[in-house]
Amino acid sequence: MKCLAKSGDKAIAHVQALISHGRSACEFPGVAPGRYAVSVFYDENSNGKMDTNFMGMPRKGVGTSNNARGHLGQPKFDDAAFQYSGGKLDLTIAIAYL
């Protein structure tokens, strides 16, 4: 699984984590307090990218913080955003297949 933003130039971090027993954990060290959103996808074929169909829909499992869902595309930042005040924060993100 990869945890990252769709647009690499907007992401402050990219992380890869292994999946075990249907769960994974991504850690983002050194992140300053602020407002963030997290987007993940399950890289089933380990090619390092989000594969899409001819309409641009993900072929892999995807998820975002707040389990936000988009309408004909990625969810809006405001729907997925959360406030991070520093320290440890546990987020649970469900992976969906569209």
Residues 21 and 10: their CA atoms lie apart, in Å, by 31
Q: What is the pLDDT of residues 28-69, one digit of tens each?
A: 888 999 999 999 988 888 888 888 888 888 888 999 999 999
Around Cβ 62, how many Cβ atoms within 10 Å? 23
Around Cβ 45, how many Cβ atoms within 10 Å? 10
CB 2 within 8 Å of CB 28: no
1 pLDDT higher than 70 = no
Determine whether 63 is exposed, middle or buried from the number of CB atoms within 10 Å of its CB (0-12, 13-18, 19+). buried
Full-model pTM: 0.80
Rounded to a whole number, what is the distance in angstroms from the first to the last CA of the chain?
Answer: 17
9 pLDDT higher than 70 = no
Residues 74 and 15: their CA atoms lie apart, in Å, by 19
- Domain interval for residue 90: 1-24+32-98
Residue range 5-16: mean pLDDT, rounded = 70
Give residue 5's pLDDT: 45
- Over the chain, what is the mean pLDDT? 85
Give residue 83's pLDDT: 95
Give residue 67's pLDDT: 95
Domains contained in the chain, number: 1
CB 17 within 8 Å of CB 3: yes
